Chains A and B, each alone.
Chain A
Amino acid sequence: MNSVIYFRDVSFKYSNSEQFALKDINLNINKGEFVLITGPSGCGKSTLCRIINGLIPHFYGGTLTGEAIVLGYDVSRTPTYVLARYVGMVFQNPENQLFLSSVEKELAFGLENLSIPKPEIEKRVQEVAQLMNIETLLDKAPYELSGGQQQKVAIASVLVMYPKILVLDEPTSNLDPRSAMEIIDLIFRLNKKFGITVIIIEHRLELVLEKTTRLIFINKGRIIYDGDPRKILKKEDIDELEFYLPKSVKLYRDLKRIGIELPDVPLSPSELATVLRGELKRRRLLK
């Protein structure tokens, strides 16, 4: 079976809340997918992430109904520390997920908790530090690092556990555009190279859209769209997703509205350039 995440009719209500944070979620994510989740603040994106690694219902109280299966584990019966081994979770604010006094200790922490033998920890720490290009930072204190470096360390600190799924909850929202791009590229490489399933929450679609195979748009606790971004973005009416579109997609849609239909939705400026060139050639305006 290729499915790594399977949700059937999942709804969740926080214990101190009247409303459902998530309602009737049906979801099937296969191994190796690169899934982009977006939607307005408070729509339930973080809540969804918390279900995937068991923070809901084990850390946050509330009522979880339906069936949530992650890598064959029933989430409501599996404690977070078991799922933590397979689901690497990276949060929005790197500062709050780095609590030790050196990067090296930070990387070793998860493995220590899993009681992995020392030589193996040593091997993995070196390996992941190299992979993430942070070998020179190993002796540094995390709070001395820049935001981008901190986020790299945060990702590295879960990668050492060799997770099968990487869940990133707005990992770039505290970063400058350049570090954000770097982090996204890194995540994409991990996905390609190791086949890690990636679930990323991101508001700035232009950073990620080009790389994703799947776009999920959530609003008010419900999944509104789920599928190939190129197909979704071709639709006439796409509700509030309209506000999230990168410039290239907006241009595509504006052109279409005035009767010029390009053959494909360009997900980035460079795709737009390619599509435009093709179109101009086709219309014999360009050799």
Chain B
Amino acid sequence: MSTSLLRGFVYKRKSSVLHRLDPRTKAIILISAVALIFTSVKVSFLLLLLFVSMFLAYVGRVLREWLHSLKSVFLFSIFIFVMNYLTVYNDKLLYSLLMALRFILLTSFFSIFFLTTNPDDFAQALLKVGVPYEYTLTFTMAIRFVPTLARDIQLIIDSQRSRGLELEKGNIITKVKNYIPILIPLMILEIRRSIMIAEALEARAFGAVRKRTFYRELHLSRIDIIIMTCTLVTVALILLLKPQWF
């Protein structure tokens, strides 16, 4: 379940309008959407937003992955609906429906953001808004080493199994215990790996000067500015005027 949920959020390298937008523009769209999601009290408006996000997923050519992320949170949203229905007194149906829809919408917009934003560009955007390079590099590297880590885990599981380790055996406590022979070697392996990475960083003059060069920097294009402005103006108007349908 956890890995399948991940599939709806992991960046897909593709070429689309959405992929080419600056992460900051997409962040503005995301934040605007979140603001609308939490202030609107009309089911019809939230459904409209869902339609908008579907349109975005289509434009970003990630419809399938997007659907996947919605599918994987569907059960949970029903759970949210039921819990709200049981605990709230006034307007039970409307309120619970709103909460469930909000949850689906949040998933939807976040999923589209991450599906279409290169983690590197995201890190660069963080840099642009003032996050220090050490942190953004850590972020980039963390994402870069996810597949490596996954492979290491599989490797250890396989080799421990071949020595007779049975992971699925026993009750919940034994099951947790079963994972100790996986976790210990994994930790040692990753600590050693991280030392080697640190060594390699040093050998490439990391931290040599206070002000390093940034070879590829993000630049807001005209399209970015237009989209950002339109989004902000629309959202501001809706929030200020609070029309009937909102």
Q: Could you tell me which A residues sit within 8 Å of B by CB distance?
A: 50, 53, 55, 58-59, 80-82, 84-85, 87-89, 91, 93, 95-97, 99-102, 104-105, 108-118, 121-122, 141, 143, 157-158, 161
Contact = CB atoms under 8 A, between A and B. Distances in A.
A62 to B, nearest CB: 14
Contacts of A115: 208-209, 211-213
B89 interface: no
B209 A143 contact: no
B120 A101 contact: yes
Contacts of B148: 95, 143
Contact of A96 (B118, B140, B143, B196): B196
A72 to B, nearest CB: 18
A84 B211 CA distance: 17
Nearest to A139: B13
Given A55-B202, A113-B206, A99 B196 contact: no
A114 B209 contact: yes
A188 B141 CA distance: 32
A161 B148 CA distance: 28
Given A100-B144, A121-B213, A91 B196 contact: yes
A251 B198 CA distance: 44
A103 B238 CA distance: 45
Given A113-B205, A117-B213, 5 more contacts: A53-B203, A84-B205, A95-B148, A114-B208, A115-B211
Interface string B46-67: 0000000000000000000000
Interface in B90-127: 118-120
Given A55-B202, A81-B202, A96-B197, A105 B120 contact: yes
Nearest to B13: A141
Nearest to B207: A81
CB-CB nearest 7 A-B residue pairs: A97-B200, A81-B208, A84-B205, A89-B203, A108-B215, A96-B196, A110-B204
B166 interface: no
A121 B215 contact: yes
Contacts of A122: 215
Contacts of A50: 199
A80 B144 contact: no
Interface in B171-209: 193, 196-209
10 contacts: A81-B202, A84-B208, A85-B205, A91-B199, A91-B203, A99-B144, A100-B120, A108-B215, A113-B204, A115-B209
State the majority secondary structure of interface residues on A.
Answer: helix
Nearest to A87: B203
Interface residues of B, number: 31
A113 B207 contact: yes
A96 B214 CA distance: 22
A104 B200 CA distance: 17
Given A84-B203, A84-B204, A116-B213, A101 B196 contact: no
A84 B202 contact: yes
Contacts of B144: 99-101, 141, 143
Contacts of A89: 200, 203
Contacts of B169: none
Contacts of A97: 196-197, 200, 203-204
Contacts of A59: 198-199, 202
Contacts of B130: none
Interface string B207-244: 11101111110000000000000000000000000000
Contacts of A158: 203-204
B64 to A, nearest CB: 21
Contacts of B141: 99-100
B199 A112 contact: no
Interface string B115-153: 000111000000000000000000011011101100000
